[in-house]
Amino acid sequence: VGPLCLLAILLEMTVGYMQGQDKLYRINDTLSSLGAAFLMTITNYLLKFLTLTTEFGIYQWVYEHLAILHLPVNLLWTWLFAFVCIDLGYYWCHRLFHEVNILWATHQVHHSSEDMNFSVSLRQGVLHIQLAWIFYIPFALFIPPTVALVTIQFTNLYQCWIHTEVIRTLGPLEFIICTPSHHRVHHGRNPYCIDKNYGGTLIIWDKIFGTFAEEKEQPVYGITTLVNSWNPIYIQFVHFRLMYTKFCNLSGWYDKLSVIWKGPGWYPGKRRCGIWEDYREISYPVYKYNMRHSLLADIYAVVHYMLIYLAVETIYSENGLSHREVMCVLCYIVLSVISIGAIFEKSSYAPSLECFRCILYLSCDALKSTSVPVLGIGQMLTNPWIIRVIFTISSIIWGLQGIKELCRRKTKN
């Protein structure tokens, strides 16, 4: 998450407004997507040594010791060949993450939004990236690591711009490459959209393997079992709970274990991935999960998400922070996305939790004798007192709200 992503989001909002689409973005949904991005970022940070060892290190080891071909890096055809291979690998990787339930549990996070915009591309599962790289290891038998790494990054970056509704069609290019129209179908929960259009850059793989669907009616976005939450932590792991419930309800170990490796739509007596006829047609009008809240609550959430972003930047810059302080920053990020999600959901515990979060920051900040607050985010601004004032005011507001909620409960009882 960075300035370029923010710029792309603002550009899409502007174009959408000019097209008369003034509801492309909802603050609660967008910040929930950013929260998932923050969680993925800190997970990658915690596992960075493991990731370097597995993703790049093992690929390089396989290439150096087991490769059957060593293609020259300086030839164009090597790069073109690698592009086609990696894109085919992305197709099958993506397809398996939809058709194997345990993998879908890590990928459904990306599909949980009921909107379709650039911010959705940031909504990723924290475990997804840790598993997806495995599917590229076979290419180490003939594709140089440098070429593979660049090509994989290109394929991943390509996904960002196809999450949009402002681009309707690209004419003849629709026959070759994956376009926003194709990807809107992929994110739809209409029966005709289920398990379709897995392609990364090229759409030809879907046409070859029979998973292509053209955009007909306007897709309704989200997953068939709606999450209905703005808590990024809950969204990350909700499907594991559904799997556990299904596991317990089935009899016989074969059926129980099938919950893990068969498709998310599978039930005993059905084929492995289920059948699309089991999915109900969409009833119109469609009402999105959208707890009503004030403009001030939106502004408050945006301001504090900016502070969370500064915290994320802090752990990567590591400007003089000890390991203990870095862990404090990570805990602060997790607590923050949970607390702001609770505010959007109007949870009864939201005022108390948010007040606790703000007081916790101020307490940790006070323990730091240097000019850099222990949670790190103040160092990104010229005057860290600006941050302290924001947290002080916030703690007072939510403290009063917490007292009000407590009085309301006592009166009700």
All structural domains of the chain with their residue ranges: 3-209, 242-277, 295-412
CA distance 243 to 229: 18
Q: Look at the block and give the residue holding tokens 């998973």.
A: 211
Whether the CB-CB separation of 380 and 314 falls below 8 Å is answered with yes
Q: How far apart are CA 229 and CA 247, in angstroms?
A: 23
Looking at residue 326, what is its pLDDT? 78
Q: What is the pTM of this model?
A: 0.91
Residue 44 corresponds to which tokens in the numbers above?
A: 């990658």
For 42-45, the CB contacts below 8 A with 24+ separation are: 42/312, 42/315, 42/330, 42/333, 42/334, 43/126, 43/127, 43/130, 44/129, 45/315, 45/316, 45/330
CA trace torsion 320, 322, 326, 332 (10° rounding): -100
Write the single-letter amino acid at 158: Y
**What confidence tens digit (pLDDT) does each residue in 121-154 have?**
999 999 888 888 889 999 999 999 999 999 999 9
307 and 377 Cβ atoms separated by less than 8 Å: yes
End-to-end CA distance of the chain: 45
| Distance, CA of 166 to CA of 391 (rounded, Å) | 38
Please give the pLDDT value at position 53.
Answer: 58
With CA atoms as reference, report the closest residue to 25 among 39, 11, 35, 38.
11
pLDDT digits (tens, 9 = 90+) for 146-164: 999 999 999 999 999 999 9
Q: How far apart are CA 261 and CA 251, in angstroms?
A: 16
Q: Which three-class secondary structure state does DSSP give residue 289?
A: coil
Helical H runs in 112-209? 128-132, 145-161, 180-187, 204-209
Show the low-confidence residues of the chain (pLDDT under 70): 1-2, 49-55, 275-278, 318-321, 368-383, 413
The DSSP element (H or E) to which 78 belongs, if any, is helix 76-99
Peptide bond into 285 cis (omega under 30): yes
pLDDT of res. 59: 87
DSSP structure class, residue 121 = G
